[in-house]
Amino acid sequence: MVSRVDVPKGGFNFDNYQRNLILQEKGFSLPKPTKTGTTIVGTKFKNGVVLGADTRATGDTTVMDKNCFKIHYLAPNIYGCGAGTAADTDKITKMVASQLELHRLATGRESRVATALTALTQFLFRYQGHLGAALVLGGVDVDGPHLFSVSPHGSTDKLPYLCQGSGSLAAISIFESQWRENMERDEAIELVKEAIKAGIFNDMGSGSSVDVAVIEKGRAEVCRGMEVPYPTIQKVDSYKFKPGTTAILSESFRNFVTITEGDAMDIS
């Protein structure tokens, strides 16, 4: 018996259109996309890379976590900021970090940013965008500082400054107007902080505080809560009001008949 495999034709595929109609006829709701919110950025400076992220994790319109850590460790000289689904970015970066650790043990050499980039892109492309992980990857290796963006489908881009997430439009405006080549370390940190704050102030999915990672040759520093754009204001007074705070305009008293148990009520 010879089995025959039909070669798929080119062009668009509308097979799911009939499936969606059947789901609606049976009373099922159609799958809906999940709205996420984040602002992550990265920039190169004279001697390294600075990464930044906000700390708000949202589920649609609900703030799930006010102190979510979005700067993920990949290697001692490589870090990545994650946007999209928090669980996907966390697990993917941990898997790649373990692969890089095994590679360092086998070769006895420092991990290269291109190696981490290849591992991430191959893993994400395998799932065709169904893993909601968009990353800003930065690090310093033998070839100098590197900065890449990785989309959920596995495509990449290499630029001197990058923004991802729902607050990226506000953040990129800061870079477009203030970024310059060969910045000093402190200048790059301040620029990243301003970009993250722009995302926090202009995007409802971004908020809380600013996390920053500075990667240079031979060292990496991660600073949690480097800046809180709008700190929590303590209550000045309590909600217990003293008697007489609200003025009484008029008083009225009425006499009500109390019916004790056993008395018959006239309902005629």
Rounded distance, CA 245 to CA 134, Å? 55
Encode the chain (268 residues) as per-residue pLDDT tens digits.
555 666 666 677 777 888 888 888 888 887 777 677 899 999 999 999 999 999 999 988 889 999 999 999 999 999 999 999 999 999 999 999 999 999 999 999 999 999 999 999 999 999 988 899 999 999 999 999 999 999 999 999 999 999 999 999 999 999 999 999 999 999 999 999 999 999 999 999 999 999 999 999 999 999 999 999 987 778 777 778 888 888 888 888 887 776 666 655 566 5
pTM for the complete prediction? 0.78
Active-site residue numbers?
38
248 lies in a domain?
A: no
Rounded distance, CA 81 to CA 39, Å? 9
What distances in angstroms separate CA 142 from CA 81, 145, 182, 217, one per listed residue?
Answer: 22, 9, 19, 9
29 lies in a domain?
A: no
Give the per-residue pLDDT at 231. Answer: 79
55 lies in a domain?
A: yes
- At 5, is the secondary structure helix, strand, or coil? coil
Rounded distance, CA 26 to CA 213, Å? 51
- Of 183, 153, 251, which Cα lies nearest the Cα of 45? 183
Residue with tokens 């006829």: 25
CATH number of the structural domain spanning residue 220: 3.60.20.10
Give the per-residue pLDDT at 189. Answer: 97
70 lies in a domain?
A: yes
100 lies in a domain?
A: yes
Instruction: Say if residues 226 and 211 touch (Cβ distance below 8 Å).
Output: yes
Structure tokens at 5: 């495999």
10 lies in a domain?
A: no
Which residues, including other chains, have CB under 8 Å from residue 176's CB and lie 6 or more apart?
none
Give the per-residue pLDDT at 214. Answer: 97
Task: Name the residue range of residue 47's domain.
Answer: 40-226
52 lies in a domain?
A: yes
